[in-house]
Amino acid sequence: MLSDLRFTLRSLRKSPGFTFVAIFTLALGLSVNTTMFSIVNAVLFKGLPYEDQDSLVSINLASPERGWDRMSLSMAEFNDLVEVQTSFQHLSARQSGTFNISGSDLTPERFTGTWMTGPGLELIGVRPRMGRWWEASDNAPDAAPVVVISERMWATRFGLAPDIIGQTLRANGEVATIIGVTDGEFDYPNDSDVWMPRRYTRTGEERDTRYLQIDARLNPGVSLATAQQELEVIFSRWVQAYPDDYEGLEIRAALMWDNFVSGDVKQMLAIMMGAVTVVLLIACTNVANLLLVRGGGRAKEIAIRSALGGTRSSVLRLALLESLVLAAAGAAIGLPLAHMMMRAFEYAIANSGDGPPAWFKLEVDGLVMVYVVAAVLFSCLLAGLMPALRMIRTNLSSFLNDASRGSTGAASGKLTRALVVAEVAFSCVLLVMSGLMIRSVVAAANVPLGYDPTGIMTARVGLPETQYTEEDEQIRFFGDLRRSLARHPEVTAVGISSRLPTWEGANRLVLENSDLAGGEKQPETGAGHVSPGWMELMGVAPLEGRDFDDRDTMARDRGGDGERRVRTIFLAWPECGRATV
């Protein structure tokens, strides 16, 4: 084998043009495949950097009829689960949202954060870099506010102050004590910089007021299927007790990882992996064609080797060894190219907005190297096997005759043409995939929005619940804000809404007791709250009737006894403490 390797290297050195083209072709195919598989590995195979992640579970409601796979749960439902379930050793509810961070010497700034119940982040088996997580007692309604901050926030807001533990800050108008700082690579859930215990009472909220994501850790020895069966039993009791709240709903337990990587992402990665595989097929077909032509030119050499006692297996081994050397050299050049592509990809997503989650690590690890070795062997066989079999199956006298005439033979010509046809077919597949993807992107970018976004600026406003406890205070704030913005000469229209346009949201609206012709039920639609002037801002004219105006107040929607009497489909003012300006 060693002598064959030396012979192969000498033979390739004698044909530098062929060697360069073959190696460079394979290097391009292997580099894009290595890059793409590294992305797939980072997203799908590595998983979350949490302790025993296979036992981490997310619990959600689902509505198959509406096509909703993941719906939040309410605090009442979470409390029921905590009391009766036996499948989980830890059960925690979380809610992501906006934290307005300020202090006596800090400029107010908005951060994304998370409120959590139960044992806090100990659920996922992670410890803070400094300080501690909160304890279960910190979730009590009368507990003193505490907060855990990210290393990023510690650096940008506090200048890496060594005495950070014990300092206070104002979070949404509430003075909280900093008890911990997370590690720089920690990110749960995505993009959080602040974590606070969710101090709650066990009563006072409706069962269908759903805004909590439930995460849990399975008890040792309990499978996901067993936990699902128990949840279904608990859910059946809810359905019996509150049938109206659970019509068309199901309860599902899934690995927490499924909440981080959606089905759309998996589908996109599968398409991209298929595309780069076609690229590798084209590269291998190119090299196979080159080897076939090269084999025709070496016919006399093979004939002499056979005449001197060389067996067909030795000729096959020599031909495959040559393609293996080419593929290995292509991988050696392709790996640095793949590394550059990965750094370019990281730079692109880091500058695309929010950037990648902290758990996303794009690197060439052991699994990627296994893939590279498999890709090299695949390339070796695909590029070298057909020319090698062609060499050992053709009559040696025909080889000599063809060589004396300076031809590669009719059979070789047919095989070459077949490879060209295959290459064109692979290229057509790749072009069609690329064209469909480009067409999809263009179509998505040109979907009619129903309004003209040109010149519309948006900003999100969050009102601290501790400062704006009453609904009337929230209404008054947003009214003053709208009038203040409208006074600016460069502003032509101002509107306030509880959500951005085209965002479906979780609130749904259906017209009850108004079936369509034929007994069909009314379709559901997304529900939102808007202010007067919002439709004018969006350039949306009502088909009938009028736009909202200052007459449409919350007071008008209430009777003298204070009972709510909804007179409009969309309420005139946001009822929650958040709005989009």
Residue 150, CB half-sphere, CA atoms under 13 Å: how many? 20
The mean pLDDT value for 160-184 works out to: 90
CA distances from 530 to 45, 263, 403, 502, 553 (A): 43, 33, 84, 14, 11
Q: Is the pLDDT of residue 338 over 80?
A: yes
Neighbours of 416 (CB within 10 A): 19
Can you give the pLDDT at residue 60? Answer: 93
Residue 334 pLDDT grade (very low, low, confident, very high; cuts 50, 70, 90): very high
User: What pLDDT score was predicted for residue 310?
Assistant: 59
| CB neighbour class for 458 (10 Å; exposed up to 12, middle 13-18, buried from 19) | exposed
The lowest-confidence range among 373-382, 491-500, 536-545 is 536-545
Which amino acid is residue 160, in one-letter code? L
For residue 16, name the pLDDT band (cuts at 50, 70, 90).
confident
* Residue 80 tokens, joined: 């029921």
Q: Taking 50 as the threshold, does the pLDDT of residue 574 lie above it?
A: no
Q: Please check the confidence at residue 163 and state whether its pLDDT lies above 50.
A: yes
pLDDT, average across residues 202-212: 75
Higher pLDDT, 445 or 143: 143
Asked whether residue 569 carries a pLDDT value surpassing 60, the answer given is no
Question: Cβ distance 37 to 365 under 8 Å?
Answer: no
What are the pLDDT digits (tens) for 454-484? Answer: 888 888 887 777 778 787 888 888 889 988 9
> Do the Cβ atoms of 333 and 33 come closer than 8 Å?
no
What pLDDT shows up at residue 382?
82
Rg over alpha carbons for the chain, rounded to the nearest Å, is 33
Classify residue 551 as exposed, middle or buried by CB count within 10 Å of its CB (0-12, 13-18, 19+): exposed
Average pLDDT, the chain: 79
Fill in the amino acid letter for 410: A
* Position with higher pLDDT, 151 vs 136: 151
Residue 154's pLDDT is: 92
Q: Is the pLDDT of residue 558 over 70?
A: no
Contact by Cβ (8 Å): 354, 189 = no
- 555/20 Cα distance (integer angstroms): 80
Domain boundaries, the chain: 2-47+265-296+317-388+404-445, 55-255, 454-581
The whole-number pLDDT of residue 301 equals 64
Which residues, 6+ apart, have CB-to-CB distance to 304 below 8 Å? Answer: none
Higher-pLDDT residue of 443 and 347 is 347
Residue 292 contacts by C-beta under 8 Å, 6 or more apart in sequence? 386, 387, 390, 408, 412, 415, 416, 419
Percentage of the chain beyond pLDDT 90 is 22
What's the 3-state SS for 28-93?
HHHHHHHHHHHHHHHHHHCCCCCCCHHHEEEEEEEECCCCEEEECEEHHHHHHHHHHCCCEEEEEE
Q: Is the pLDDT of residue 566 over 80?
A: no
User: For 23-39, how does the pLDDT look when each residue is reduced to its tens digit (9 = 90+)?
Assistant: 998 999 999 999 999 99
